[in-house]
Structure 1
Amino acid sequence: MEYYLYILYSKKIDRYYTGVSQNPFQRLISHNEYPKGWTKRGVPWELVFMKAFASKTEAQYWERFIKRQKKRSLIEKIIRGEFRWEK
């Protein structure tokens, strides 16, 4: 089963959110229809990027990598397709 790294964007708060899911489209619906936690303040969210990985471990590795960087410029580089997915 594939796991997806996904990136959401909220125009309301002008912020990105990164997560991992087996079904990013369903996860987007959950974030928008059942808001809670950090993402609650950004509704509505839009899916701006997703990338499939063969394992949950690999998808979570990249999610943690992105979140640790804390750089909007990195996320925007990923969205534009300019990021090299190399460990």
Structure 2
Amino acid sequence: MFYTYVLKSEVDGRRYKGHTDNIASRLLEHNSGKTKSTKGYIPWELVYFESFKTREEAIERERFFKTGVGREFIKNKIKANNSNK
């Protein structure tokens, strides 16, 4: 399985979108400073993810998440998830 995920920085609330085949280890990499683009905003929390059968599907969904419509989709999903808690 492959995953497209969204992380949120606990420092300033910014979001990071990516894809991986192992969410747990990828989150550890982000929070240990091994990813250059995210190390200045540690700690990160996983706020959303979707699973796919192929890497190509995960990459395509990540590209969508990075569009204006995709950012709005993520914002609404996170808001809905938080209101269900």
TM range, normalised to the smaller chain? 0.7 to 0.9
Identity, % of aligned positions? 36
> For the Cα contact (< 8 Å) 1:7–1:47, is it kept in 2?
yes
Q: Which residue of 2 aligns with 1:27?
A: 26
Gap change, CA 1:40 and 1:56, over 3 Å in 2: same
Query: How far apart are the structure 2 equivalents of 1:72 and 1:63?
Result: 10
Question: What stretches of structure 1 of length at least 5 have no aligned partner?
Answer: 83-87
Moved runs in structure 1, 4+ residues, more than 6 A?
none
Q: Give the 3 Å change call, closer, same or farther, for CA 20–81 of structure 1 in structure 2.
A: farther
1: distance between equivalents of 2:10 and 2:30? 14
Unaligned runs of 5+ in 2: none
Q: Does the C-alpha gap of structure 1 residues 72 and 58 become closer, same or farther in structure 2, counting only changes over 3 Å?
A: closer
Q: How many residues align?
A: 81
1:1-87 aligned at under 5 Å gives the runs 2-69=1-68, 72-80=71-79
User: Displacement of 1:69 after TM fit?
Assistant: 2.3
Query: TM-score, with normalisation over the residues of structure 1?
Result: 0.79
Deviations 1:32-59 (A, max 9, x none): 1134422112100001111110100001
